[in-house]
Amino acid sequence: MERILVIIKPDGVERGLIGEIISRYEKKGLNIVECKMIKADREILEKHYIEHKGKFFYEDLITYMMRGKVLVMILEGNNVIQLIRKMHGSTNPLDAEVGTIRGDFANRKTENIVHASDSKESAEREIAIWFS
């Protein structure tokens, strides 16, 4: 059984997309095993985005992630990481296929609606940060 951390980011929450996104996961048969709505602070976001520290978009990313509430979830299932990442589409909305969450709803690289862990190792690291 594999686990993944998913975040519906402030733009997803502000735009009323929580229901739409969760409904897609449910229709795909994926299991949400933990879920909470929080306003993330700088400390947790600095831990979460440590690999991006120093990149040109880092400060904009932290500011954007703090501007409103986020919905943080753990999903569990076989190949859930690959499945969720396919459903989210590419980070760059120009590359995200129509039918994916970013392909349908995002038009910027930073404000891209959702986050998902990219490997088993990052999933366990991120779950420990958000659900410790």
Q: Which of 61, 71, 75, 83 binds ligand CMP (CB under 6 A)?
A: 61
Element (H, E) at 12: helix 10-14
Contact 123, 13 (CB under 8 A): no
Q: Is 110 in the site for ligand CMP (CB under 6 A)?
A: yes
Q: Is 57 in the site for ligand CMP (CB under 6 A)?
A: yes
Q: Is 109 in the site for ligand CMP (CB under 6 A)?
A: yes
Which tokens in the block code for residue 82?
Answer: 């690959």
Contact 62, 46 (CB under 8 A): yes
Nearest CA to 106 among 21, 19, 4? 21
Q: Which of 23, 79, 91, 107 binds ligand CMP (CB under 6 A)?
A: 91
Q: Is 112 in the site for ligand CMP (CB under 6 A)?
A: yes
DSSP three-state, residue 2:
strand
We find the least distance from the C-beta atom of residue 78 to ligand CMP, in angstroms, to be 22
Contact 110, 32 (CB under 8 A): no
User: Applying CB under 6 A, what is the total number of residues that bind ligand CMP?
Assistant: 8
Q: Which residues are catalytic?
A: 115
Binding positions for ligand CMP, rule: CB under 6 A:
52, 57, 61, 91, 109-110, 112, 115
